[in-house]
Structures are given as C-alpha cells and as structure tokens.
Amino acid sequence: MLAPKARYAYSETMAQQKKSRRKTPGRGPAPEARKAPEKRRTAPTETNRPNKRAPGLLLFGKHAVAAALLNPKRQAKRLYATKNGLDALTSLCALPTGLPVEITDMDSLKSLVSGPNATGDSPTQGVVLEVLPLPGYSALDFPPKTAERSVIVVLDQVEDPHNVGAILRSAAVFGAQCLITQDRHAPPESGVLAKSASGALDVVPWVRVTNIAATLDELAQMGYWRVGLAGEGEATLEAIDLGPALVLVLGAEGRGLRPLVRKHCDMLAKIPLTATGGLIDSLNVSNAAAVALYALTQGKPKR
C-alpha cells in the first residue's frame, strides 16, 4: 500500500511545481489569460509598406505605367506610388476613376517588384501598377493598310526581355502594325520588359503564335513581302525594291534566323557595316531592328 501512496504524493508535487512555474515573473500570464492584440485599421491614403508581392502583373516606371493607364484594353487593378511618383504620373495622364491608390515609399516599391521578372534594383521611378495581361491577338487582325506602308516585325526566338522591350519601342516609333513572336520562345509580359519598352508594350499589339513559319505563310497570303535580316543577305535594305506591305524578320542573338524560317522569307537582306578588322561584325538584335525599321519606313513605298 505504500507504493501507490508514494506515487500519488510524487504526482501531486509535480503538479504544484508546474503551477508555480506558470506564475514565475517574466514568463508572462497563463495562455488563457492572454488577450489578442487589438487590430489597427489603416486608412486607404496612409503610408504603409507592402510586405509581400502583390498578385498579378506589375508594371513600373512612369512611362510604362502611364501608357498602361491610357490603354483602353489594359485592365488596371491597383497603383502603388510615392507622393512624388504620383505627382509625376498625373502630369502625364489622369488616373482612372475608382483605381485604388496606395501611397508608400521607394524601398517598399523596390521590394514589391523584386522577383524572377523584375529585380529589386530596377528603377520604379516611384510608381508600380498592378494590371492584368493584355488580350491576345492574331496575325489576321493586321491586314496591310491601303493608303500607307504597312510594316510588321517578326522575332524568331528572341528571348531576352530587354531586347524585346527595346524592339517594341522602335516598332512604336516607326509605326509598325504589330510585333509577332513564337509563344514558347519569347519572354512573357513583365515589368522589366515594359520598362525597356518605355510604354510601347501598351502601344504596339503583341501577337504570339505557335509556328513562325506557318505565320509567315499567312502573312504572304495577306499580301506582305517577307524580308529576313541576315549578314549574308543578297542586298542591303536600301537596294531592295520594296512593296507597300513588309514583314521584317529577325533572329536571335548569335544563331540568327533558323533555316526553316529563312525558307519562308522572300528575300534575305543585310545592314552594311563598316569594316573594323573583325572586332565588331554584327549589331545587337534590338539595334539592328531600329536601323532596319528606319530604312524600311523612309520614303514612299514602291508598288
């Protein structure tokens, strides 16, 4: 009978020790006595720091954001901005009625756009816009114009977002109808690409196709003359007898146009380069696109 009594005394002592530990100063009240912290309500215009990446596509830079807000086909969801950034943006365009605006600071904006498609050190210029992707287009949506020259830019597996953004910018400046890329070998819409395009992402329609060669055939049936840009081209762009409806086809850095894509071009043309003793024998694809678009859009088209 002594053993059970001893066990009872031991368990009772342990229970008293646990109870005393719960009352030890510095350990705080017992869990049942703690109260949940009172939630603070933040006013919509109060400065705060977003602590996580916002959903959706994030565009940044005042020109990219302004172009997106002016594009009737772009759906904007929320604007994050510093006070100075908001002032600069509203000098370029009016904000849509009902667009939620969150005033924050530069460090928070930089943190907001950090990720695989927009690095944290990318300059936001004080504005970040959350948007939905643009609707898709078809090459058939862009038949040749009747009263002026029509130019379409086709990129054969150009995957760098900075290059694609810069080409979009040149396409906008020189009045190209649209940009066509292969869906699987081109960058997606992103803040970096939109910043490189400086607003052209929302100006020049972007067509994504599954097969570049088949699309070039469709464009030929619509009346376009297809010119592939290659260093071994038969003639310079200035020497070609160009028609009123043109497709400029550019290949990726290094490998250039793929053989199948070359076969679906009516002609290969080149940009003449000054001899540099082999030090420089080519142009960056975005620079080549700008030079070629300038050459193709000057003067009256030959019919």
Task: Evaluate if residue 53 carries a pLDDT over 50.
Answer: no
Give the helix, strand, coil percentages of the chain, each rounded to 5. 35, 20, 45
Are residues 231 and 280 located together in one domain of the fold? yes
Closest by CA to 300, choosing from 243, 239, 219, 256, is 243
* d(C-alpha 155, C-alpha 186), whole Å: 9
Confidence (pLDDT) at 3: 45
Are residues 288 and 159 located together in one domain of the fold? yes
271, 288 contact by CB (below 8 A): yes
Last residue of a domain, one of 115, 131, 147: 131
Are residues 186 and 263 located together in one domain of the fold? yes
How many alpha carbons lie under 13 Å from residue 26 in its C-beta half-sphere? 0
Are residues 82 and 215 located together in one domain of the fold? no
- The model's pLDDT over 220-274, given as tens digits with 9 standing for 90+, comes to 999 999 999 988 887 888 777 778 899 999 998 878 899 999 999 999 998 887 7
Q: Nearest 5°: CA angle at 117, between 65 and 195?
A: 30
* d(C-alpha 182, C-alpha 203), whole Å: 19
Are residues 126 and 247 located together in one domain of the fold? no
User: Is 34 part of any domain?
Assistant: no
- Please, where are the H alpha helices in the chain? 2-22, 62-70, 83-90, 106-112, 161-173, 191-197, 212-221, 259-263, 285-296
Last residue of a domain, one of 90, 105, 131: 131
Closest by CA to 200, choosing from 59, 75, 55, 298, is 59
- Mean pLDDT score of the chain, rounded to an integer? 81
Task: Evaluate if residue 154 carries a pLDDT over 60.
Answer: yes
Are residues 174 and 100 located together in one domain of the fold? no
181, 155 contact by CB (below 8 A): yes
Confidence (pLDDT) at 283: 85
Confidence (pLDDT) at 54: 46
What mean pLDDT is predicted for residues 78-107?
95
- The model's pLDDT over 159-194, given as tens digits with 9 standing for 90+, comes to 999 999 999 999 999 999 999 999 888 999 999 999
User: Is 32 part of any domain?
Assistant: no
Distances (CA, A) of 300 to 104, 114, 150, 171: 51, 46, 11, 18
User: Is 40 part of any domain?
Assistant: no
Are residues 215 and 286 located together in one domain of the fold? yes
* d(C-alpha 109, C-alpha 131), whole Å: 15
Domain residues for 291? 139-296
Confidence (pLDDT) at 282: 73
**Looking at residue 180, which CATH number applies to its domain?**
3.40.1280.10
Are residues 125 and 150 located together in one domain of the fold? no
220, 226 contact by CB (below 8 A): yes
pTM of the model: 0.76
